[in-house]
């Protein structure tokens, strides 16, 4: 699938639920309403769409949410997608999770052919972790990470940079990741979603956030590429591979290879845009040809770049949609 700007789209992120057992302050408000179950794509519907996507050139799928591991019977979907990996029709199946249910799901993920996962963890400090996630328990997450590692999964820790909230957590997190052989990816907060207070106050560029690490260690750029938007650095002396995702300060849209399927069956072509097509309607009321037609339309809708910078500066331009609806 080649979009209007010549980019090859081969990576699909599927938000399998908008629900979550955490309420991270930067992601959604404390009181958040969720979609009724009838609006959710069923696992059969997701797999029907996946067949079409694979036909059209999607090679990598990441499950996300909301918290993907809280959707009931998620193992059914993971196993069905894993069968595509085993047949070679998909190159890779991955997952982004808050880690709270990893201990339970690690065996299933490993047996489905998942090789690596991203776990989101913004600090190792138990009290601060509880504050940022509004109720999460760091020990449960760390135990989940240990279980995933014991089942042979490669782990990347995602850490969102939050001014005044977790700047002092960076060096301990970098040491923890180096010690365990995990990659660490830092992410700038994006101004997505209504009702999330203190957007402007929380934003810090990764140039500033990573300054203590640069002051202490030499960082060398690496040629390594993953399916996502991170640029990678080697932290010398620590033996850590560090990814930087800088949607705000260093735009990376020219390399974008991703589209996103929402919980209710919409395809959003860009996290920073409202442009989408509704595949659920085509799926429930139309034919496979209608789905194919909408996919072609969607490719034309993919914007050249997002405009989060303007959206941070002007609240009236911000998208009401939260990260959990589209999937991070």
Bridge partners, 186 (sequence order): 159, 244
Note whether 272 binds ligand SAM by CB under 6 A: no
Tell me the C-alpha distance between 234 and 232, whole Å: 7
| Total residues in contact with ligand SF4, by rule CB under 6 A | 14
Please pick, from the candidates 14, 90, 160, 256, the single residue that binds ligand SAM as defined by CB under 6 A.
160
What the block records as the tokens of 82 is: 């894993």
78 near ligand SAM, rule: CB under 6 A: no
Query: Would you say the C-alpha torsion 180, 205, 116, 78 has a positive or negative sign?
Result: positive
Using the contact rule CB under 6 A, the part of the chain among 23-31, 51-59, 71-79, 194-202 near ligand SF4 is 23-31
What is the per-residue binding string for ligand SF4 in 99-138, x denoting contact by CB under 6 A?
A: ---------------------x------------x-----
Min dist CB 159 to ligand SF4, Å, is: 11
The residue range among 15-23, 149-157, 172-180, 189-197 that interacts with ligand SF4, by the rule CB under 6 A, is 15-23
Tokens of 264: 């209710």
CA distance 252 to 273: 15
Contact code string over 152-171 relative to ligand SF4, x by CB under 6 A:
--------------------
User: Does residue 214 contact residue 204 with C-beta atoms inside 8 Å?
Assistant: no
Q: Which residues contact 32 (CB under 8 A, 6 or more apart)?
A: 23, 195, 322, 324
Q: Kindly state whether residue 148 participates in binding ligand SAM, applying the rule CB under 6 A.
A: no
Which CB, 3 or 67, lies closer to ligand SF4? 67
Taking a C-beta distance cutoff of 8 angstroms, is the pair 256, 11 a contact?
no
- By beta-carbon proximity to ligand SF4, the closer residue of 65 and 82 is 65
305, 174 Cβ separation under 8 angstroms: no
> Which partner from the list ligand SF4, ligand SAM, none does 189 bind, CB cut-off 5 to 8 Å by kind?
ligand SAM
249 alpha-carbon distance from chain centroid = 19
Binding site for ligand SF4 (CB under 6 A): 20, 22-24, 27-28, 65-67, 98, 120, 133, 323-324
């Amino acid at each position: 699938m080649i979009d209007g700007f010549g980019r090859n789209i081969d990576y699909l992120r599927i938000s399998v639920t908008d629900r979550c057992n955490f309420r991270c302050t930067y992601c959604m408000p404390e009181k958040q309403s969720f979609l009724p179950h009838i609006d959710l794509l069923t696992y059969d519907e997701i797999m029907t769409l996946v067949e079409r996507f694979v036909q059209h050139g999607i090679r990598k799928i990441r499950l996300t949410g909301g918290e993907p591991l809280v959707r009931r019977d998620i193992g059914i979907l993971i196993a069905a997608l894993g069968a595509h990996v085993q047949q070679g029709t998909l190159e890779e199946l991955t997952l982004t999770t808050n880690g709270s249910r990893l201990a339970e799901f690690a065996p299933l993920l490993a047996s489905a052919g998942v090789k690596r996962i991203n776990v989101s963890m913004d600090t190792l400090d138990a009290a601060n972790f509880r504050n940022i996630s509004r109720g999460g328990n760091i020990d449960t997450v760390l135990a989940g990470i240990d279980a995933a590692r014991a089942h042979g999964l490669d782990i990347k820790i995602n850490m969102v940079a939050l001014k005044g909230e977790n700047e002092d957590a960076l060096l301990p997190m970098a040491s923890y990741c180096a010690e365990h052989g995990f990659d660490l990816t830092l992410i700038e907060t994006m101004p997505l979603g209504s009702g999330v207070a203190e957007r402007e106050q929380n934003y810090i560029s990764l140039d500033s956030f990573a300054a203590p690490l640069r002051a202490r260690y030499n960082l060398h750029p690496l040629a390594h590429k993953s399916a996502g938007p991170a640029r990678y650095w080697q932290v010398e002396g620590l033996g850590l591979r560090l990814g930087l995702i800088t949607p705000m300060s260093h735009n990376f849209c020219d390399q974008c290879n991703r589209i996103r399927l929402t919980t209710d069956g919409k395809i959003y072509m860009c996290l920073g845009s409202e442009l989408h097509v509704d595949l659920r309607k085509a799926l429930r009321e139309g034919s496979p040809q209608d789905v194919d037609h909408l996919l072609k339309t969607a490719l034309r809708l993919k914007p050249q770049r997002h405009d989060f910078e303007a959206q941070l500066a002007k609240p009236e331009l911000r998208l009401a949609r939260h990260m959990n609806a589209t999937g991070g």
